[in-house]
Amino acid sequence: DTGVSQDPRHKITKRGQNVTFRCDPISEHNRLYWYRQTLGQGPEFLTYFQNEAQLEKSRLLSDRFSAERPKGSFSTLEIQRTEQGDSAMYLCASTRGGGGGWNEQFFGPGTRLTVL
């Protein structure tokens, strides 16, 4: 257990439905990241927050995706009008950003989304 939790762990939905995932990072971490991972591939960066500010979004993040971190603590990732291609593992990670070097990111267990 890394201290990063995600909910739900599994989600099955029908195409066209909206889904929302939650991530609770390690409390003292100011940076929070969302990644998506499909079978046989490494995780792909989607977006990241520093405190409550969303500072970067990948072009993978289509208009149907939106992420929030309203109070700089937990974050939500919403997918609207889901498509079968959205089926993947959605991973959240947090870190204490800034400073020298490259800070270790702590990953949650992920939410596995299946779109039927």
Distant-in-sequence, close-in-space partners of 101: CB < 8 Å, separation ≥ 6: none
Question: Which of residues 44, 68, 74, 76 is near another protein by CB under 8 A?
Answer: 44
* Nearest distance from C-beta of residue 25 to another protein, angstroms: 12
Task: Answer yes or no whether residue 91 interacts with another protein by CB under 8 A.
Answer: yes
Task: Answer yes or no whether residue 28 interacts with another protein by CB under 8 A.
Answer: no
* Nearest distance from C-beta of residue 63 to another protein, angstroms: 20
Task: Answer yes or no whether residue 11 interacts with another protein by CB under 8 A.
Answer: no
In the block, residue with structure tokens 């100011």? 30
**Number of CB atoms found within 10 A of residue 14's CB:** 8
Stretches 13-21, 68-76, 79-87, 107-115: which one binds another protein (CB under 8 A)? Answer: 107-115
SS (H, E, C) 75-94: EEEEECCCCHHHCEEEEEEE
First to last CA, the chain: 30
Q: Which of residues 45-74 bind another protein (CB under 8 A)?
A: 45, 48, 55-56
Task: Answer yes or no whether residue 42 interacts with another protein by CB under 8 A.
Answer: yes
# chain residues binding another protein, by CB under 8 A: 34
Report the alpha-carbon distance of residue 89 to residue 82 in Å, rounded.
14
116 class by beta-carbon count within 10 Å (0-12 exposed, 13-18 middle, 19+ buried) = exposed
Task: Summarize as ranges the residues that interact with another protein (CB under 8 A).
Answer: 2, 4, 31, 33, 35, 40-45, 48, 55-56, 89, 91-93, 95, 97-110, 112
